[in-house]
Structure 1
Amino acid sequence: MFLPAWGLMALALLLVPPAHTAAPATDAAADVVLLDIQGGIGPASHDYVRRGLARAAADGAPAVILRIDTPGGLDAATRDINRAILASDVPVIAWVGPAGARAASAGTYIVYASHLAAMAPATSLGAATPIALGGASGRDPEPDAGDERGRDDGAMSRKAVNDAVAYLRSLAELRGRNVDFAEAAVRDAATLTATRALEQGVVDILATDIDDLLRQADGREVQLGDRRQALSTASRTVVPLAPDWRNRVLSVITEPTIAYLLLLVGLYGLLFEGYSPGAIVPGVVGGICLLLALYALQVLPVNYAGVALIVLGVALMVGEIASPSFGVLGIGGLVALVAGSVVLFDTEDPGFGVPGRLIAGIAVASGLVFMVALWLAARSRTRPVVTGVDELLGERAIALDDFHGRGHVAIRGETWQADSATPVRRGQRLRVLVVDGLVLRVAPDAVAAEESTLPEGDKP
């Protein structure tokens, strides 16, 4: 029951419908496809754009419009999107819009890679400096003399910046756009408004809306592979292409906060199942959540030391409950959980990190659950045993015959051999002092009455 449930879920998430292989149509009335890139750019954005471009090519669309409003995103996902644009058989028009939108950081790279670039009034682009691992900016740090770590961080930062400069300059040269701004956007995080971007040759069109964009783009020639192609966009119908169910699921589970919560639910579920075999539900839910978390983490910029710390933290807290160590394991587990949560995502790109307040909330909740569980475990150790033969200690029994030494008593509906150092009369109430194998050592109960009613069948 457990394996098929999460196996089918993982299979459903990873299934990719076959790509269209039909040749592009040449219908003069074909529609322009509109794709929206909003929010942080990640794996879901790449999947959406790639599938949208394939769909547009199969339908013979005259052009694809990328409507961009993003604060930036992951470098790997951005490069994947640009590779899809560069390989596209359909002209791609990037439009930063509507008014108030921006194409910051990763969005700038996509604008430069597109065949035609446009912006709406009151929009901006730029600030394309890569954020290095650990949050270092593109500028060199100022280490103290002999600070080898500072020099290493500076070298890594320069490598990342130089690589980004070369990449954006190559896109600018390919599309015939402003190369100087491309370098300034990376090295100095320079930005431009829509009007200045048009004046400096960073974009080709300033369009107030989609209809205005289609009108101005009509007849312009773009380089499509090894050939020049004139755009035919006037009076075309624009058809928005919404993300399908697969992309929506991918978008949800690859959101860093959701991936983080799935990881915690998965770990707690499996550990609870391990300590309560047969519960089934925690194991099934935990297995599914853990698989989804692992799928999300393998496409996100994850620091696996953070994952290891989270796993260690949960294990230590559970270990504290199982074998109390006066809080040492529990406190260590809580510290490991918080530290792992902080360093889990190896990037500071906008939209790709776990909020600090969520980490604090998880830490407080885990700490409270840990303390309550520890209190319950400690309290249970002070209670009398209620299972096994040891629970008979202190219980009352009734003598079934007269004896001094070895005899028989009735206790909880069972007949036991008993041994008494004092004479016992049949029907007398006794108290169990010791359980010696299958023999109970008893003594008269001084508190109870001397005589009591024997069980049915044992009355004289």
Structure 2
Amino acid sequence: MKRLFWVLLMLVLPLCLTAQEPQVGLISLRGPINPITAAFLKENLAAAGKRGDRLLLVELDTPGGLDTAMREAVQAIFSAPVPVAVYVAPSGARAASAGAVIGLAADILAMAPGTNIGAAHPVGLGGKPDPVMEAKLVNDAEAYVEGIAAKRGRNVELARRMVRQSISLSAEAALAQRVIDLVAPTREDLLASLEGRKLQRGGKEVVLHLAGARVVTHEMGTRDRILDAISNPDVAYMLMLLGIAGLFFELSNPGVILPGVIGGISLLLSLFALQTLPVNYAGIALILLGIILFIAEIKVVSYGMLAVGGVVAMVLGSLILFPSPEPYLRLSWEVLAGAVGVTALFFTVVVVKVIQAHREKPITGVEGMLGEVGVADTDLAPEGRVLLRGEYWNARSEEPVRQGEKVRVVAVTGLHLTVRSSADEDDVRSGS
């Protein structure tokens, strides 16, 4: 029994020591703040509490993002079960607009040298709003940031100026003005500086003990990375066009399947992406109108007028689709020009081919048989039989035709052909 006890002790003891090993969780938020990044932050805050992490370190580099996503992130930080440190890094990174507000909400806000924070003036998604609405937006954002800064003991006046005057501060200036807590060149330096730091959380004093803590990085899963990628305006726009084109081909040629499958998946993904972006639905309507006009040009030959209207509608719709003045929430000119150009070129080629097909000589039915050349299978005097396209037909000729001579069809009456000898035509061509 003693031997069994010591064996079990040797097995369990390492597990207990491992479980008690101090740990710091690390995540990175890079790029625009959107519902995907906000959900990723919330999930990791909850997981850090379950793991018993001493600290969750958020390395931040963002130009800003959506107001709703920013507020979700701030609420998650305030209710986090573990202390949260936001570290604007590496050098050259920024915490602008929504990123600045998220940083101010953290228990600890640090920056690497060569970074900046600020420019938190709110921007209406539909462009510049009227003065009254703009004043409401600014006042609301100012009060929101003021409350966050006061809660964390940061410089309230500077936080207000970030909103009202869109000021931006370097790491050193932000530290001097008590906007951030410290400047750290590296992650290791930051964690070393935080050892023994006292924080106020929920009315209680918490002391950080990070010495010897293991830093564990938590990356976005494949699902979140895909959803974050398609939340890019350029990707969402291309998915929408691909979805419309795929469904159009499937409806035009039922049973092909592949275009319909690709189009359906692309359209559903684009609809998800549009939920995470500022969208003007008039832009979507104009793009759909443009596609309809292109299709109408195929059915109704308007000498290019419908196609021109389709290009104009598509360009206008693309321009107003994402009305945000922020570059990272707008459609890029390269993608817009490329997509409109390729779509217009494709439908132009289709229209040209349709017109050419209409102008070509028919090859089926009665019209397709007129002018065809066959061979007299019997003498035609005046009736007999001819071989045409591998088929035997009863035929009649006003002039006698010998067996084996070539004949040309001049009329079709039911199942009877009216022909004439093509030998005379060949003689005329050779004589001329």
Q: Normalising TM by the smaller chain, what interval?
A: 0.7 to 0.9
Tell me the equivalent position of 2:165: 188
Instruction: Classify the secondary structure of the residue corresponding to 1:215.
Output: helix
Amino acid aligned to 2:110:
A
Amino acid aligned to 1:97:
A
CA contact (8 A) 2:318 2:336 kept: yes
Mark the CA change 1:93 to 1:449 in structure 2 (over 3 Å): closer, same or farther: closer
Q: Distance in 2 between matches of 1:299 and 1:357?
A: 22
Residue-by-residue CA offset, 1:139-188 (whole Å, 9 max, x unaligned): xxxxxxxxxxxxx6222222221221121112112222222112111111
Q: Distance in 1 between matches of 2:244 and 2:119?
A: 39
Q: Distance in 2 between matches of 1:59 and 1:387?
A: 76
Tell me the equivalent position of 1:444: 421
CA shift at 1:422, angstroms? 4.5
1:37 aligns with 2:14: no
Residue-by-residue CA offset, 1:416-459 (whole Å, 9 max, x unaligned): 34344455555553221123343333233343689xxxxxxxxx
2:244 to 267, 279, 285: 267
1:166 aligns with 2:158: no
1:256 to 215, 230, 233: 233
CA shift at 1:256, angstroms? 1.5
Residue-by-residue CA offset, 1:273-315 (whole Å, 9 max, x unaligned): 2223333322222222112111211222221211222222122
Mark the CA change 1:436 to 1:156 in structure 2 (over 3 Å): closer, same or farther: farther
Q: Return the TM-score normalized by structure 2.
A: 0.87
CA shift at 1:67, angstroms? 1.2
Q: Distance in 1 between matches of 2:270 and 2:116?
A: 35
1:276 aligns with 2:244: no
Instruction: Classify the secondary structure of the residue corresponding to 2:345.
Output: helix
1:135 to 110, 123, 127: 127
Uncovered stretches (5+) of structure 1, i.e. residues with no partner: 1-24, 137-151, 451-460
Tell me the equivalent position of 2:306: 329
Aligned residue pairs total 411
Instruction: Classify the secondary structure of the residue corresponding to 2:25.
Output: strand
CA contact (8 A) 2:91 2:114 kept: yes
1:233 to 189, 199, 210: 210
Instruction: Classify the secondary structure of the residue corresponding to 1:430.
Output: strand
CA contact (8 A) 1:399 1:409 kept: yes
Q: Distance in 1 between matches of 2:352 and 2:31?
A: 45
Q: Distance in 1 between matches of 2:46 and 2:422?
A: 89
Mark the CA change 1:235 to 1:350 in structure 2 (over 3 Å): closer, same or farther: farther
Uncovered stretches (5+) of structure 2, i.e. residues with no partner: 1-16, 428-432
CA shift at 1:89, angstroms? 0.6
1:93 aligns with 2:76: no
Greater per-residue helix proportion? 2
Mark the CA change 1:226 to 1:414 in structure 2 (over 3 Å): closer, same or farther: farther
1:68 to 45, 57, 60: 60
CA shift at 1:404, angstroms? 6.0
Tell me the equivalent position of 2:133: 156
Amino acid aligned to 2:348:
M
1:318 aligns with 2:310: no
Instruction: Classify the secondary structure of the residue corresponding to 2:323.
Output: coil
Residue-by-residue CA offset, 1:185-219 (whole Å, 9 max, x unaligned): 11110122222322322122232322222233233
Mark the CA change 1:424 to 1:51 in structure 2 (over 3 Å): closer, same or farther: same
CA contact (8 A) 1:65 1:95 kept: yes
RMSD: 2.5
CA contact (8 A) 2:296 2:306 kept: yes
CA shift at 1:62, angstroms? 0.8
Amino acid aligned to 2:57:
I
Q: Distance in 2 between matches of 1:129 and 1:447?
A: 89
State the identity %.
Answer: 43
CA shift at 1:110, angstroms? 0.5
Mark the CA change 1:404 to 1:89 in structure 2 (over 3 Å): closer, same or farther: same
- Higher relative CO (CA 8 A, sep ≥ 6), structure 1 or 2? 1
